[in-house]
Amino acid sequence: MILRHRDFFPLPEAVITGFATRVMSLRDGTKKMSKSDESDYSRINLIDDVDTIAQKIRKAKTDPAPLPDSADGLSNRSEAANLVNIYAALSDLDRNQVIQEFAGQQFSAFKNALAELAVAKLTPIAGEMRRLLADPAEIDRILAAGAERARALAAPIISDIKKLAGFVS
């Protein structure tokens, strides 16, 4: 078998797609959501409880205009577009479907629906995070098992790469 560079080092391709590939801040729709932001209300943390998630969504920055009836109505409305994108991602709906469902409604009603959806989707993750954080031995066990699986899968590939690079004959 002839080993070639391109067989082992293909160019990476993006895997994350959709409207919320970059989730923006709940306080400033032009900035990426970040845990380093000073305001805890700029983001939803994976260990936030139900009330905190709902409160952060309801306090998210928006503008006074109602939701538009088309995606074009979101241009120059970064905070509105961000919340619609988050809803679309969490609900597995297209952004246009979200706009059609909530067109003309005030953001207060939309934020309540988004808060319910976010709580439903994120609460199980938060519960699992809290469970794991309370049991460091379980985290160590999971990491060790994953490392062992990775080593087993990688061993034949690493061997071929060493041959390709000329480290072994």
Per the CB < 8 A criterion, the answer to whether 67 and 110 are in contact is yes
Domains, the chain, ranges and CATH? Answer: 17-127 (1.10.240.10)
Return d(Cα 86, Cα 60) in angstroms, integer.
Answer: 12
pLDDT for 53: 96
What are the residues facing 24 on neighbouring strands? 32
Return d(Cα 132, Cα 135) in angstroms, integer.
Answer: 5
pLDDT for 92: 92
For the chain (169 residues), the mean pLDDT of every run of 10, in chain order, is: 66 74 88 91 93 96 94 94 95 94 96 98 94 96 98 93 84
Instruction: Indicate the pTM of the whole model.
Output: 0.79
pLDDT for 22: 78
Nearest one of 40, 100, 44, 47 to 73, comparing CA atoms:
100
